[in-house]
Structures are given as structure tokens and as C-alpha cells.
Amino acid sequence: QARKPNATPAAPEKRAARHVIAVAAGKGGVGKSTVAANLAVALTRQGRSVGILDADIYGPSIPRLFGLSDAQGLKKTDSGITPLSAHGVKIVSMGLLTKPGAPVVWRGPMVQGAIQQFLRDTDWGDLDVLIIDMPPGTGDAQLAIAQTAAIDGAVIACTPQDLALDDARKAMAMFQQTHTPLLGLIENMSVFLCPHCGEPSEIFGHGGARDEAEALGLPFLGEIPLHIDLRKRSDEGRPVALDDGPVSAAFARAADAVLA
Ligand code: ADP
């Protein structure tokens, strides 16, 4: 049978990793990137090879979380885009292509183009787990990732607040529409642990994500406390999950639950 001019046979889809996991929130500022970064580190400490694709083109946080905020070293060669490595995790992010502090002022189709290039052209090597740090919201870019990235499952990060839960529900609905399995919910900023006396305070409430997971019949992946070390270590580019401690242990348990 004659082929149409310009028609190319469909290439078999190349999987980026044995497990491709999206971390999404719906709402910004709930700690989605912090959760993605620390899950990646926790999985690395368990002996897995891990990569993060930072799909937040307008507000990439992953380079800072890994101490790469001044790095611009992403290279494209014949074999594809070569990720940078930090703390044992391979990283691809728009923040590694732009000058520090420079905004990306792009229309939607260009953003989607960049994400597709990251998805298609990155030379990850042999990865056990690829974590996709999803951009906030449920628009074109998010839909395109959900439809084309061969995601095995999505982890939803939220705070116990009703407002964040409302947006988490929207993110979950989007994944359901694209037939992406939901791996469960993780509650961030669950309780505030006072760095002085260790007393817990429920600033954003507590248990909202657990109740939501139960109501939806989804696994509850754990609670991450609101803790000053988490914020400080994130700003320093040394995720708290690198060292032993109660917050690190919470991420290790969540990492186990994600791959269970
Ligand atoms: P998102 O990706 O949802 O926009 P980030 O991961 O960038 O959110 O987190 C927003 C801010 O909150 C950052 O300054 C981060 O260090 C801080 N943060 C996130 N989770 C916690 C936590 N559990 N305890 C303390 N600070 C946190």
C-alpha cells in the first residue's frame, strides 16, 4: 500500500522510566514541588534511580530545591537533552535553561511545546522512577501531559484546608477524565511542629486529605508536618529527606506507599 507523502510510521512509545508518576495539586503554594523533590530524594535513598521533570514552565521551583538555582547547564545534543544531577536525582527544568530570575513570557502553545520536548527528547538513561512535577491548574498544559506522558499514576498533594481540597478535587477529576490512575493523596503542612517545644498546632486544620481519600476510596499516602526545617532546607537546596529525622521518615513512608 502506497504511503502518503510525509507520512512517517508511528514510533513505538519510549517509556522514560519503569514508573512514571505525576505529582499534582491543582492549587499553587501547597508544597507540591517540595513534596515532589523530597519523594524523589527518599526514593533515591532507597536505592532507586530517579529523575524529575519539572513541568512548571512559568514557575519552576525544582532547581532551587536542589541547589541548582544558578545553574543553566541543560544541554541538547544528538542523543537528546541531558539532565543535570543533584543529590543523586536527574533533573530537567525550564529553570535550567533561563537566566536566574528571568521570567518565561510565553503563550500556551509554546509552553506545551517545551513540555513535549522535555518529555520526548530527554536522555534519562536507565530510570526506575520519573516524577513529573505538574504545573498548578487544570488547563491545556496539564491535559497535554496527562494525555501524552504515559503516566502510571498521579499523587495529589494538598493541605488540610477546604480551599486546597477543592482544587485537589479538580486535579483528580482531570486525571480521571484522562484515565490516569490516582495513587493517593498526601497531606502537606498537616500540623505545625514548634521547633522550640515540639508542640503540634493544627494551623490549616488536620486530617482533611485523609478524610477525602477515604471518601474517594483512594490510598492516603501520609502526612507531612509544617516544619521550619522543611522550608529552610528547601531554600538552601538540600531537601530535608536527605538526612534522617521525623519529616524525612514521613517522606520515606510516602515513597513506599506511592510505589506499593
Ligand atoms: P507549590 O509547588 O505547591 O507551589 P512549594 O513546594 O513551592 O509549593 O512550597 C511553597 C512554600 O512552602 C515554599 O517556601 C516551601 O519551602 C514551603 N513549604 C512547603 N511545604 C512545607 C512544609 N511542610 N513545612 C514548611 N514549609 C513548607
Q: Which amino acid is at 188?
A: N
Average pLDDT over residues 173-197: 91
How far does residue 32's CA lie from ligand 1's centre (Å)?
Answer: 7
Average pLDDT over residues 10-16: 61
Residue 166: pLDDT above 80? yes
Residue 68: pLDDT above 50? yes
Is 11 within the bounds of a domain?
no
Is 103 within the bounds of a domain?
yes
ipTM: 0.99
Residue 11: pLDDT above 70? no
Is 8 within the bounds of a domain?
no
> Cα separation of 33 and 69, whole Å?
14
Is 179 within the bounds of a domain?
yes
How far does residue 234's CA lie from ligand 1's centre (Å)?
Answer: 8
Is 10 within the bounds of a domain?
no
Domain count, the chain: 1
Pocket test for ligand 1, best of 201, 231, 232, 248 (most atoms within 8 A of CB): 231
How far does residue 28's CA lie from ligand 1's centre (Å)?
Answer: 9
Pairing label, strands 129-133, 50-54: parallel
| Three-state secondary structure readout of the chain | CCCCCCCCCCCCCCCCCCEEEEEECCCCCCCHHHHHHHHHHHHHHCCCCEEEEECCCCCCCHHHHCCCCCCCCCEEECCEEECEEECCEEEEEHHHCCCCCCCCCCCHHHHHHHHHHHHHHECCCCCCEEEEECCCCCCHHHHHHHHHCCCCEEEEEECCCHHHHHHHHHHHHHHHHCCCCEEEEEEEEEEEECCCCCCEECCCCCCHHHHHHHHHCCCEEEEEEECHHHHHHHHHCCCHHHCCCHHHHHHHHHHHHHHC
Query: Which of 12-16, 20-24, 153-157, 207-211 bottoms out in mean pLDDT, i.e. has the lowest?
Result: 12-16
How far does residue 33's CA lie from ligand 1's centre (Å)?
Answer: 7
> Cα separation of 106 and 11, whole Å?
29
pLDDT of the residue at 13: 56
Is 183 within the bounds of a domain?
yes
CATH of the domain at 26: 3.40.50.300
Counting atoms of ligand 1 from 1, which one is nearest the CA of 37? 6
Q: What is the tens place of the pLDDT at every residue in 217-255?
A: 999 999 999 988 999 999 999 999 999 998 999 999 999
Residue 12: pLDDT above 70? no
- pLDDT top residue among 6 and 135: 135
Is 7 within the bounds of a domain?
no
> Cα separation of 71 and 142, whole Å?
26
Of 128, 122, 54, 123, residue with least CA distance to 88: 128
pLDDT of the residue at 4: 47
Q: Which residues contact 127 (CB under 8 A, 6 or more apart)?
A: 16, 17, 18, 49, 50, 51, 90
Of 42, 43, 22, 48, residue with least CA distance to 33: 22
- Domain span holding position 246: 19-259
Q: Which three cell numbers stand for residue 48?
A: 532507586
Average pLDDT taken over every residue of the chain: 89
- On the CB side of 73, CA atoms within 13 Å amount to 12
Average pLDDT over residues 21-38: 93
**Protein residue with its CA nearest to atom 15 in ligand 1:** 231
**Protein residue with its CA nearest to atom 22 in ligand 1:** 226
Residue 207: pLDDT above 90? no
